[in-house]
Structure 1
């Protein structure tokens, strides 16, 4: 039995906590608001940006997971001190630091992303995520700590929340036959990471020494356009009606909405192909992506997660 500490109780952190507990491990989830402890999952209120507090909470942990999610428009200000605290806590405690990353650091311009793609994004959010990994990699190479990053695409799954492009705000109206308004281009191929696959990849990376010191992609099924994804989720219901919000409207709304202003700044994520390759990570982590039919059924509650046998 191992002890795991997770920073953040959003969709990724919660999915991860339940996976670890189901495997018989003890889990401590840290967040600003805390929560109700159940079974092997304990919750505690903590400021992860306070290195002394975080180090005390992570003492004796085999793995420390970063599943935090600062407000979208506050990444450049909130991530650096929070990440510095996590790095130092991992160095003090000896826990393997596994961070739930994303694809923002890549400068893709429509190319398929691999783990070797350069982390040279020029937008503010991508630049901060890229610098986070460079800082971690440098400390790993210096022998200060053990760290790895697992990068997922936009996620879908049973615990997807309001931050997910294909979460309840998408599935609710879609399944009800109403028009779905989205900022995503509906006919560009896009990678979508299944949340349970994300959690499994995080666990595997923490347990695989060969994965430490490198970034890895979550094994992810074949890309789908948003229109194709909607058609998959519409199984047994009315045909999806998906209408993109014009980019000019998004930019105009961004004048008063910090969230939409940041969405407009990364519009290339939505208006060009946004696809990642996961062949290498599948080999190193020993995982394969959940097939789309199973992922859709599990997300809609038509079968239980993990009940594909």
Structure 2
């Protein structure tokens, strides 16, 4: 591996996918997390050549030290869902300051919360941003800080926006992650957010990694937000779980999980409580257009192939 290092802050599902995409490009990678190599989980062996630095990214001195010599810094951190408003903005500021100190590009992992309700229209990078949720407003305020830093010439910024993710190693945070796959493999009832028969773009984790790696290495992408790759022909949540079931050889019942049920569970679980305001994404068709990134040559893995790889990875992890 040759050239300046690419520094990925965060080793959750997105951070690992990004590091893997950079390693595939034969680039030197430094991964920054709080829990060491054990946090790499199923990707530990694939990331064995990656330099690992362990510490608290909210410590500005540590973050700047971790980013030293970086060509690009990737912000893929994700604090606890119910602590976003308090913890996320200062966390981003520390990583932004580290990128500025290193004179590195800042590659931001974002989502589509800041758009608010799609109103029956596909979301594009030009869609108006009118967040109506607390987390959407947090995301928009954080993005505004990044673009202000970019316009001021302090640091190059580029942002990748993903929809709800799924794929190998997605864990319990994904609407199509281990909670669903556990039920599918066991043949139990599968409860999906909202209306399971509405089309919903989910973004495949390896495609998120590929998209962020492109944003961190191409010269012609900075100063803009890009939708990370989504299949241009999205399926409904039910159709995706039915395919999971076919691959697993089971026939579970599939139903919706109403907002009232989330509220009830949320009384005792702060993470579930935070999901209630995001239920709108599953109450109408939710399509996120990524044709602009496809024009760069970064296209989504077709859904059937992505689902097959996801089930194979789940089986390997639970063998």
- Normalising by the smaller structure, the TM-score range is over 0.9
CA–CA separation in structure 2 for the residues paired with 1:182 and 1:291: 22
**Matched pairs, number:** 301
1:87 paired with 2:96, answer: yes
1:126-205 counterparts in 2 under 5 A? 126-205=136-215
1:18–1:41: 8 Å Cα contact kept in structure 2? no
Please point out which of 228, 233, 237 is paired with 1:226: 237
Partner of 2:267: 255
CA–CA separation in structure 2 for the residues paired with 1:250 and 1:128: 22
Please point out which of 257, 276, 289 is paired with 1:245: 257
What whole-Å deviation, never above 9, does each CA across 1:43-84 have from its counterpart, x for those lacking one? 222111122211111010111111111111111111111111
CA–CA separation in structure 1 for the residues paired with 2:61 and 2:73: 15
1:40 paired with 2:20, answer: no
Name the SS of the counterpart of 1:43 in structure 2: strand
206-215 or 245-254: which moved more? 245-254
Partner of 1:59: 68
CA–CA separation in structure 2 for the residues paired with 1:82 and 1:251: 29
1:298 paired with 2:302, answer: no
1:58–1:64: 8 Å Cα contact kept in structure 2? yes
Partner of 2:316: none
TM-score scaled to structure 1, two decimals? Answer: 0.92
CA–CA separation in structure 2 for the residues paired with 1:94 and 1:279: 30
* Structure 1: runs of 5+ lacking an equivalent: 303-309
CA–CA separation in structure 2 for the residues paired with 1:167 and 1:32: 23
CA–CA separation in structure 2 for the residues paired with 1:161 and 1:297: 16
CA–CA separation in structure 2 for the residues paired with 1:268 and 1:110: 12
TM-fit CA distance, 1:220: 0.9
Partner of 1:4: 6
CA–CA separation in structure 1 for the residues paired with 2:264 and 2:223: 42
1:185–1:244: 8 Å Cα contact kept in structure 2? yes
* Structure 2: runs of 5+ lacking an equivalent: 39-43, 314-319
Please point out which of 119, 123, 139 is paired with 1:109: 119
What whole-Å deviation, never above 9, does each CA across 1:285-304 have from its counterpart, x for those lacking one? 321111122212221228xx
What whole-Å deviation, never above 9, does each CA across 1:114-145 have from its counterpart, x for those lacking one? 00112220211011111111111111111110
Please point out which of 5, 27, 33 is paired with 1:25: 27
TM-fit CA distance, 1:203: 0.5
33-42 or 67-76: which moved more? 33-42
9-18 or 232-241: which moved more? 232-241
1:279 paired with 2:281, answer: no
CA–CA separation in structure 2 for the residues paired with 1:124 and 1:190: 22
1:120 paired with 2:122, answer: no
CA–CA separation in structure 2 for the residues paired with 1:210 and 1:261: 40
What whole-Å deviation, never above 9, does each CA across 1:141-182 have from its counterpart, x for those lacking one? 111101111111111111211111101111121133211123
